[in-house]
Chain A
Amino acid sequence: MVASPDIADVDSGTRPEPAAAQLELAREPWSEREFRALYDAHFKLVWCALRRLGVREADVMDLTQKVFLTAYRKLETFEGRAQITTWLFGICQRLASDYRRSAPVRREVATDAAELEGHTRAPEDASVLLVARQRAELAEQILNKLPEAQRSVFVLFELEELSGPEIAQVLGISVGTVRSRLRLAREMFAREVKRLNAQATIDAEGT
Chain B
Amino acid sequence: MGSDHREYENLIGPIEDQMIRSVWRIARDADDADDAFQQALETIWKRLERIRRHPNPRALILRICVNAAYDVLRKRARRLRREVLDAIPDALPDTSPSATDRIAAREGHSEILNAISRLPRSQAQAVLMRFVQELPYCEIAQALGCSEATARRHIANARVRLQEMLGHLTARRSQEVRES
Partners in one complex: no
Q: Which chain B residues have a beta carbon within 8 Å of chain A's beta carbons?
A: none
